[in-house]
Amino acid sequence: MLKQRSRAGWKIPYISPIFFSKNFLKSKKFYTNRRNTTIAPHFIGKKISVYSGKVLKTVSVKKLLVGGKLGQYSISKVFGEAIGVNMALKEKRKKEDKKKGKKSK
């Protein structure tokens, strides 16, 4: 039986042309907003600052990151912020209920 490969397995890796420029090859630090670029082996040892929509986040490229996308390592979303706020409100309500003498659920 043939094993199905993921779509990313058979697609050609996309590397933006700016990563073949002389500026990139000479410098150790580089700024970009190309989050869809696949990390190639010649990126190893460089620090790439990737624009996440609000700020530039620095990604130090190591051997393990080769094959991934730059966007994977510069996270643009904040996970759990709403959850943290809700938990804080629940804790506050519990404390208030204890002061009033009510049982919490």
The pLDDT tens digits for 34-62 are 888 999 998 899 999 999 888 888 989 99
Answer whether residue 63 shows pLDDT above 90. yes
Q: Does domain 7-74 have CATH number 3.30.860.10?
A: yes
pTM of the entire structure? 0.62
Predicted local confidence at residue 80, as pLDDT: 62
Whether the Cβ atoms of residue 50 and residue 57 lie closer than 8 Å to each other = yes
The separation between the first and the last C-alpha atoms of the chain, rounded to the nearest angstrom, is 53
Domain boundary assignment for the chain:
7-74, 78-105
Q: How far is CA 15 from the centre of its chain?
A: 18
pLDDT level of residue 1 (50, 70, 90 thresholds): very low
Predicted local confidence at residue 47, as pLDDT: 92
